[in-house]
C-alpha cells in the first residue's frame, strides 16, 4: 500500500468519525425534541382543563340551577329546535350537576343557543347510482350566561353531531349498537320495503344525532372548552 493510499484512507476514517459524531448529535437532539414535544402536549392538555368525562369542573362552583332558553332555529326544519331542547334538558338532568328551573329569575345560569345546520348527504350508492347510506349532521351555537352579573362565561360555535343513516335494507347493520337501541329486529328490516326502511332509519338517526349533540354540548359547557 502506497503512502498516498494510506493518506486517503486516514482522511476517510476522519470523515467517518465526523459523520458518526454528527449523527449522534442529531439523534440526541431528536430525542430531546420528542420529549419536549410530549411534555408540551401534556401540559397543554392539563392547562385547558381536559377530562375524560364531563365532571362539571368548568362550571362556577356556586352555580346550582340553570334555565334553558328556547333555542332559535336557523334551519328549514320546522320544530327541530323544540325537539333538541328536550334532549338538552334530559342531558342536564341526567348529569345531576345542575337543577333545571322553569323561570330565568330562579336560575344561576342561563343557556341560550341556535340550531344552525341540519342536513343529510349521500355517501354510499348502489350499482344504479342510487343512495344507500346518508350522513345526518346537526350543528348548534350556544352560550352560557351568569344570571346574576349577566356575563357570558362560556360560548361555542358549530358544535355538531354526525350520524350515518342507511336507507335500504341491505345497508342496515342489524348487529350494530345503533340498531340494537331501536325497537326493531333484523326480521323487521327484512320484511320492510326500502321506503319504510328509509323512514324508520332517518327518524332514528335524527334522534341519535340530537342526543349526541346534546351530550357534546353539555360536555363542552361543563368543562369550559
154-182 pLDDT tens trace: 999 999 999 988 878 777 776 676 666 76
* Lowest-confidence segment of 12-16, 60-64, 191-195 by average pLDDT: 12-16
Residue 8 scores a pLDDT above 70: no
Mean pLDDT for 101-119 is 97
Q: How far apart are CA 54 and CA 56, in angstroms?
A: 6
Which residue, 219, 216, 54, is CA-closest to 139?
A: 216
Q: How confident is the model at residue 36 (pLDDT cuts 50, 70, 90)?
A: very low
DSSP label of 183: S
Q: How far apart are CA 142 and CA 116, in angstroms?
A: 10
Q: How many Å separate Cα 7 from the centre of its chain?
A: 66
Cell (9 digits) for 107: 336560575
Percent of the chain with pLDDT over 90: 50
Contact 118/80 with Cβ under 8 angstroms? yes
What sign does the dihedral 19-21-24-30 (CA atoms) show? negative
DSSP label of 48: T
Phi and psi, residue 141, nearest 5°: -105, 150
Prediction pTM value: 0.68
Q: Return the residue matching grid coordinates 334530559.
A: 90
Mean pLDDT for 111-131 is 93
Residue 49 scores a pLDDT above 60: no
Q: How far apart are CA 52 and CA 57, in angstroms?
A: 12
Mean pLDDT for 95-113 is 96
Q: How confident is the model at residue 202 (pLDDT cuts 50, 70, 90)?
A: confident
Q: Where are the alpha helices (DSSP H) in the chain?
A: 3-47, 80-95, 177-180, 186-191, 194-223
Question: By CB neighbour count within 10 A (0-12 exposed, 13-18 middle, 19+ buried), where does 205 fall?
Answer: buried
Amino acid at each position: 500500500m502506497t503512502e498516498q493510499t494510506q493518506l486517503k484512507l486516514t482522511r476517510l476514517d476522519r470523515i467517518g468519525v465526523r459523520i458518526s459524531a454528527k449523527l449522534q448529535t442529531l439523534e440526541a437532539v431528536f430525542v430531546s425534541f420528542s420529549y419536549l414535544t410530549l411534555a408540551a402536549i401534556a401540559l397543554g392538555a392539563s392547562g385547558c382543563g381536559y377530562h375524560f368525562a364531563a365532571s362539571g369542573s368548568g362550571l362556577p362552583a356556586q352555580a346550582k340551577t340553570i334555565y334553558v332558553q328556547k333555542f332559535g332555529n336557523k334551519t328549514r326544519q320546522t320544530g327541530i329546535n323544540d325537539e333538541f331542547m328536550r334532549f338538552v334538558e334530559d342531558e342536564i338532568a341526567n348529569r345531576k350537576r345542575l337543577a333545571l328551573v322553569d323561570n330565568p329569575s330562579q336560575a344561576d345560569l342561563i343557556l341560550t343557543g341556535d340550531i344552525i345546520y341540519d342536513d343529510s348527504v349521500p355517501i354510499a350508492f348502489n350499482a344504479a347510482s342510487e343512495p344507500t347510506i346518508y350522513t345526518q349532521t346537526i350543528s348548534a351555537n350556544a352560550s352560557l350566561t351568569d344570571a346574576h352579573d349577566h356575563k357570558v362565561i362560556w360560548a361555542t360555535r358549530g358544535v355538531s353531531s354526525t350520524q350515518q343513516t342507511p336507507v335500504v335494507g341491505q345497508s342496515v347493520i342489524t348487529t350494530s349498537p345503533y340498531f340494537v337501541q331501536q325497537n326493531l329486529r333484523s326480521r323487521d328490516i327484512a320484511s320492510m320495503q326500502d321506503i319504510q326502511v328509509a323512514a324508520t332509519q332517518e327518524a332514528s338517526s335524527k334522534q341519535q344525532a340530537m342526543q349526541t349533540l346534546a351530550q357534546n354540548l353539555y360536555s363542552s359547557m361543563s368543562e369550559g372548552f
